Structure 1
Amino acid sequence: MRLAVLRSTLYMLLQIIITPPYALLTLACFPLSPHNRYRVTSSWTFIMLFLLRNVCGIRYQIIGAENIPKTPSIVLSKHQSAWETLAFQKIFPPQVWVLKKELLRIPFFGWGLAMTSPIAIDRSAKKKALEQIVEQGKDRLKQGFWIVVFPEGTRIPPGQRGKYRIGGAWLATHTNTLVVPVAHNAGELWGRNSFIKHPGTITVSIGEPIDPTGMEPGELNAQVEAWIEFEMLRISQKNQQKA
């Protein structure tokens, strides 16, 4: 545990040193095209992943990489950690996220996030938020971006399940865009709001794409939830240790 604390402290110090100047760099890229801005911004996440691997000892493996479609799609994923917000930018093609608009107000991090063309919504405006997701989602897909949605809306501790919100499924059924369900166990190594990052290997499982044509949002949402939660039981390191 002591070594994990030292590694986590070093990672945090390096992040504090690197992030502010990088945020200013991303702001300077505002005149560039959305995809070029994304390339600059996402390179910060690659640095963080390098540090997580070489300083904290966190690695990952992918199951089902062959299921990633060739065309822009919608990723509906489990949300346990800050790790997946970094790693997905390396695992999947250029992407935008559906997120709560408050995140854009965070100094440095939020500024860089704003340069990635996110779909920033007000969760309290439910109907208006759904309309915004569809309107801006169509625009981002037309630009060639993938869209990442965490249906539970917030990070959920390992072994627990949050309420799966319908926004991602709503977007998919209203744009006839393939849905890629994703499960992972990142929270077992780097928990929600946890300073300590434990060494080990995270498993990311990518399911077969789901064609939403002819489906209702609720039906699609339930199918995605069933697959993700079943897969979570299969890849959980804690369940494997019990077995």
Structure 2
Amino acid sequence: MTSAMDRIRIFLFTISLYLWTLIIGGIIGWPALFLPRGYAIFIQTSWGRGTIFLLRVLCGIRFEVRGLDRVPEGAVLIASKHQSAWDTFIFLLHFKAPTFIFKKELLRIPIYGWICLKTGMVPIDRQGGAAALKAMLRGAAERIGEGRSIVIFPEGTRVKPGSKMPYNPGVAGLYKHLGVPVVPVALNSGMVWPKGGVIRTDAMIRLEYLEPILPGSDKASFLTTLESRIEDASLRLLAEGVDR
């Protein structure tokens, strides 16, 4: 049960996050629409770092990262479990200017959607069929060519801890098309900051970079390996809990 003090801390975090987002997006960020891409990437990264700072200071939420030494040099495809809003900005701390595959609907959000495009994120129209897939592959290849790693959430949406959704075939298409190592990522962030739930204070989020999947496998084998690695490790992190 959430105590009165915890509710106050969560309320302060929520208000602070809204204000931080307003400052970044509405005051500091909008010039990014007219300035070089590097400024937009700086704004994006600053927002992520600021949000993590607010989580730590106001809610006592810290995080433990394992296996970062497993990530190969150069541009890679990061395929991560997705349980929380936290997952959408933590990779900004670990990689230089990573690109995210994101749903096209987010482009409708004023300023945010525009900055996403400005930073070089790759939208995907989930109802667009083969043409949308080709456009995504083309955009992803351009980012890899720039030396930027790509982040994708294979399930396509946030899921509750201990649950899973079917892995979208788009991640297999990226694997075959890009020809770079795929780094699976497991986490338990949904136990701390769940979708539509109450933030848990004084907790530890755990994220683990798993053994990379090198190019060369067929799509079916790749998907099987990817899913088993992510799901098995995520269940293990779930069992570890979030105590600090």
* TM-score using structure 2 length: 0.91
Contact 1:74 1:168 in 2 (8 A): no
- Aligned partners of 2:114, 2:13: CA distance in 1, in Å? 21
Match of 1:221 in 2: 223
Question: Bigger shift: 215-224 or 24-33?
Answer: 24-33
**2:233 is aligned with 1:231:** yes
Which residue number corresponds to residue 179 of structure 2?
Answer: 176
Contact 2:191-2:242 at 8 Å conserved across structures: no
Tell me the distance in 2 between the aligned counterparts of 1:240 and 1:155.
Answer: 18
Of 42-51 and 163-172, more deviation after overlay is shown by 163-172
Q: Distance in 2 between matches of 1:240 and 1:56?
A: 14
2:18 match: 16
| SS of match in other structure, 2:183 | strand
| Residues in 1 aligned to 2:180 and 2:79: alpha-carbon distance in whole angstroms | 12
Compute the displacement of 1:42 (Å).
1.1
Secondary structure of the 1:183 match is: strand
Q: 1:135 aligns with which of 138, 143, 149?
A: 138
CA contact (8 A) 1:67 1:206 kept: yes
Displacement, 1:30?
3.0
Unmatched 5+ residue regions in structure 2? none
Asked if 1:68 corresponds to 2:71, the answer is yes
* Secondary structure, aligned partner of 2:62: strand
* 8 A Cα contact 1:60 1:204, kept in partner: yes
Q: 1:20-35 residue pairs with structure 2 within 5 A?
A: 20-24=22-26, 25-35=28-38
Q: Look up the equivalent residue of 2:178 and give its one-letter code.
A: T
One-letter amino acid of the counterpart of residue 19, structure 2: I
CA shift in 2, pair 1:30/1:109, >3 Å: closer
| Corresponding residue to 1:192 among 192, 195, 219 | 195
Instruction: Tell me how far 1:240 sits from its aligned partner.
Output: 9.3
- In structure 2, do the counterparts of structure 1 residues 111 and 10 end up closer, same or farther at CA, with 3 Å as the change threshold? farther
Q: Give percent identity, aligned residues only.
A: 32
Mapped partners of 1:183, 1:124: distance in 2: 27
Cα distance in 2 between the residues matched to 1:175 and 1:18: 36
Does the Cα contact within 8 Å between 1:4 and 1:196 map onto a contact in 2?
A: no
Equivalent residue number for residue 165 of structure 1: 168
Give the CA deviation at 1:175: 1.7
- What 5-or-longer segments of structure 1 have no aligned partner? none
CA offset at residue 218 of structure 1?
A: 2.6
Matching residue of 1:154:
157
Contact 2:192 2:242 in 1 (8 A): no
1:134-193 deviations in whole A, cap 9, x for unaligned?
100110111121110000000000111111001122112112111000000000011012
Post-superposition Cα deviations, 1:7-40, rounded to whole Å, max 9, x if no partner, equal: 1111111122121231132231234443442123
Separation in structure 2 between the aligned mates of residue 28 and residue 12 of structure 1, nearest angstrom: 25
Amino acid in structure 2 at the alignment position of 1:236: L
Equivalenced residues, count = 240
